[in-house]
Amino acid sequence: MTTTTTTAPAPDAAERATFESIDPATGDVVGVHPVHDETDVRAAVARARASADWWAGLGFDGRREVLTQWRGVITRRLAQLCDVVHQETGKPHGDAQLECALAIDHLAWAGSHAEKVLGRRRVSPGLLLANQAASVEYLPLGVVGVIGPWNYPVFTPMGSIAYALAAGNTVVFKPSELTPGVGTWLADSLREVVPDHDLLQVVTGYGETGAALCRAGVDKLAFTGSTATGKRVMAACAETLTPVVIEAGGKDALLVDEDADLDAAAEAAAWGAFANAGQTCAGVERVYVHERVHDRFVELLAERARGVHAGTDVEAKIGPMTMPGQLDVVRRHVDDALARGGRAVVGGAEAVGDRFVQPTVLVDVPEDSEAVTEETFGPTVTVRKVRDMDEAVELTNAGKYGLGSAIFTAKRGDDLARRLRTGMTSINSVISFAGVPTLPFGGVGDSGFGRIHGPDGLREFTYAKAVTRTRFKAPLNLTTFERTPEQDTMVATLLLALHGRATQLPKLPRRPVETIRGLGGRRRG
Ligand code: NAD
């Protein structure tokens, strides 16, 4: 596939600034991409707008058909897409395939459920306006801008792209500067299905290209990335009152109760913490374990951590750190944790190399150290002994992030899940919520706001359109200057019957008559 059809056309290849996409495992250059500037981005948005009416006008059935064909193309070329993901992120092919599989499943769900979730439906008009027929539907916004990260360069942006398209919008996508080839591949594959309309275009470049997209007049901006950049995106979008979805960082906790299946908990903690080299927004970064099972759990987790290593050999279950700069963050967190009394049961300072970080399990780390409070985004995890699950909930909720969480317990899952201030919780598994297309995905606090996936994710890329239609002349017309005092009395009577019954009034303590008189006297005076 070529990359020229979906990216903004280079006016003069000689003048166009470019940047290289690098294989983080080897340092090899795997692609060269244009740095799109403000003019390019605005042109892409203008093309997207020109296609928006056609796409919205296709209706749910037409769009479902296109998205089904696109899903087929991606699925048949899965190995090719996984290759690009592997080259640009360094993650093993199996992991690349897993994220693509989940993205394809979401695309299928979004396409086939858009009508049910967004289509026009009648709603009750209520008694006061009983002569009206009322309906609501969710209409496309127009053009949606999507800015994505590098850690799951297919799954993460597709959580916005697939749902925005299914809802009837066209999309301009700015992938991470570390994974421009993946973004371009996705846009090119849709272009094959619909060559004559700009449904999904890619603009490539650094933060400036993303900032230009925020200011290019899109109707909504869906951002996934770090909290710090999310704040900049929101500030830029505020200039034009462009609404935003912010899917930002996390510091997810896993809670282990005294009655938990410890083997399963340790297995899940290891996978949640080390998979994708820990570069998962909803990965496990902290574990709080009931004191009665803490020591055994640490043994089991350490065993598993020792069985996993980062590298490029066929045995390696995890790859390199995709973003070189993140190595400094991981090193700082580990060093700080150790300097402040923490202990590395597995890994430690020497586990942080030049490109790879080996699994690291830290215990006795103070709760106010960076390894516990900040997103580490590496294959490291802290484990802390807690008195009971109440303390575990308290410590989890003390963090500023609130993306996901996990609980291992035999009996108390639902109760504990409700008490955790996170957008998502999985009980007796990790990160399962991300793969269930019917569930909304998103966080609270510094993890952002708004939701992708599921019905909420579809509605996120629409506006609610409310319509009333007069069915017959109302016996009691409220919206006329002809309204009579008798009709006002009827309204008051009706209101009393509907909302004013004594049982609905809060019971107030009786006050002595003098107090009431006294109050009245003061008011008059
Ligand atoms: P990042 O914030 O550095 O970059 C994200 C994107 O924003 C990139 O495309 C980047 O070019 C662009 N960008 C940078 N500056 C910009 C600006 N001023 N205006 C507009 N766009 C700008 O994040 P990253 O390092 O690519 O990704 C890792 C982060 O993403 C982690 O914090 C991780 O937790 C988070 N993440 C969150 C989710 C989620 O769903 N909540 C999913 C995946 C990753």
Residue 211's pLDDT is what?
98
Residue 15's pLDDT is what?
77
Q: Is the CB of 374 under 6 A from ligand 1?
A: no
Residue nearest (by alpha carbon) to ligand 1 atom 19: 211
Q: Is the CB of 224 under 6 A from ligand 1?
A: yes
What's the gap in Å between 222 CA and the centre of ligand 1? 11
Per-residue pLDDT reduced to its tens digit, 413-439: 999 999 999 999 999 999 999 999 999
Q: Does 522 score more than 50 pLDDT?
A: no
Per-residue pLDDT reduced to its tens digit, 35-58: 999 999 999 999 999 999 999 999
What's the gap in Å between 421 CA and the centre of ligand 1? 22
Residues annotated as catalytic (active site), given as ranges: 247
Q: Which of 233, 184, 241 is nearest to 209 (CA)?
A: 233
Probe residue for ligand 1, chosen from 161, 163, 281, 333 as the CB with the greatest number of ligand atoms within 8 Å? 281
Q: How far apart are CA 14 and CA 450, in angstroms?
A: 41
Contact 430, 406 (CB under 8 A): yes
Strands 143-147 and 29-34, how do they pair? Answer: unpaired
**54: its two tokens:** 């056609």
For 187-249, strand residue ranges (E) read 200-202, 220-224, 244-247
Q: Does 511 score more than 70 pLDDT?
A: no
Q: Is the CB of 211 under 6 A from ligand 1?
A: yes
SS3 content of the chain, % helix, strand, coil (to 5): 45, 20, 35
Probe residue for ligand 1, chosen from 91, 146, 226 as the CB with the greatest number of ligand atoms within 8 Å? 226
Q: How far apart are CA 20 and CA 16, in angstroms?
A: 13
Terminus-to-terminus CA distance in the chain, angstroms? Answer: 85
Strands 343-346 and 360-363, how do they pair? Answer: antiparallel
pTM recorded for the entire structure: 0.93
Q: What is the mean pLDDT of the chain?
A: 94
Mean pLDDT of 140-157: 98
Per-residue pLDDT reduced to its tens digit, 242-268: 999 999 999 999 999 999 999 999 999
Residue 362's pLDDT is what?
98
Residue nearest (by alpha carbon) to ligand 1 atom 15: 207
Report the C-alpha dihedral over residues 78, 85, 381, 299, rounded to 10 degrees.
50
Residue 16's pLDDT is what?
84
